[in-house]
Chain A
Amino acid sequence: MTDVERLLTAELEDLGARAPHDPDLAASVRRRARRQAAVLASALAVLLLVAGGAVAATRLRPAAAPVASTPTTQPATGCPTPEPGTLPVWARAGFSSPNPGIPMVYSDRGLMLAILFGTPLTAPPAADHNNKILWVAKVGAEGAFSIDARLEGTDVRVRREVAPAPGPSIVDLPAAGCWHIDLRWGSYTDTISLPYAPG
């Protein structure tokens, strides 16, 4: 082994000794697995509903008659359970640790991360904390940011101009339940589901 290689070995050992450590690594991995499974399940559910709707429409269509109406597709039910996790690299600005211990929820396309500083989210707002959400966009952080929320199982809709751009906001919604939210910012759109507990 040459002098350079000896120096290199010592340097690598030193570097390794300074590696960051996640004391709850196995749990972090399991959370990530659950999150990805939930996203996959949602995508599959939507696909099945769309496919099922198409099949139903085909079967219901009279042989020689024009289609009278377009079948509606109900969105997938169920809300993710916000859990702390590891922040993606693009959402770490301002955080001293990639594992801040704050519950978070990814949007369905993964373009937005909702970091829930006020948990649980409640309707009406809780007395001891507000419904503060930090919205972090993976792409296109510029432009007006609005949310169009629909309460699952109802026709209740709320539209809010949340901020000039994704960032911190307090999002109070009128009822408890699972809210399916269309996110719009700049030229981007995505969807996310957030649970609001009874206040």
Chain B
Amino acid sequence: MSRESYREELSALREAVVALSETVVDRLELALSSLATGDDEAARRVVDGDSEINDRYLELEGNCIDLFALQQPVAGDLRFVAASFKILTDLERIADLATNLAEYALDTPRSTVPDVDVQALGESVVEMVEMAINAYAEADAEACFAIDEYDDSVDQRCADASDAIVRDLIEREATATDSTIEDLLADVSRLLLTIRDLERVGDHAVNIAARTLYMVENDDELIY
């Protein structure tokens, strides 16, 4: 086996992408728990930690560019570096969405709508991200399709949740006074944004799966 240091750099890139994804998932879970408990300190940790993730993202993106420029990867290696390059962007975006969620948690007061379980949705999208990164780390093509299917059900649940929130708004609006209507609208829009952001995390998990499928099988079926 020749090109030893090149092979080592490729392995190191894969490990670094997986490590970054673990940090991102931690932040996502912390943001979700701060939404549930109102723990401002936890939420602040997520918000403050985003710049660290951005730095790491830029560093790893630079590593990919170095590999392209200096090692000129081809075939499977090329698809691996190209997929990693794209997946890094998705991880960075997921971290941004985690920051959004933490910011919603810092806004008080929090509202709830009986039919909407934000935490259950949150658990699902965290699971999707973990599945996607596993598929990447294990070069598992079949898992990529499973993540795509999973996303269809998450999208449906998000649409249902948004409907429930709007219905709830209409009902409560009837009994609201001029002094409470502002708070009610702020609550509802925050909740709608929460649902939208969770749905987007799922979309990024699908992107990771799509790039992984391309990496493994040269198949761009899931890339839209």
Chain B binds chain A: no
Q: Which residues of B contact A (CB under 8 A)?
A: none
Q: Which residues of A contact B (CB under 8 A)?
A: none
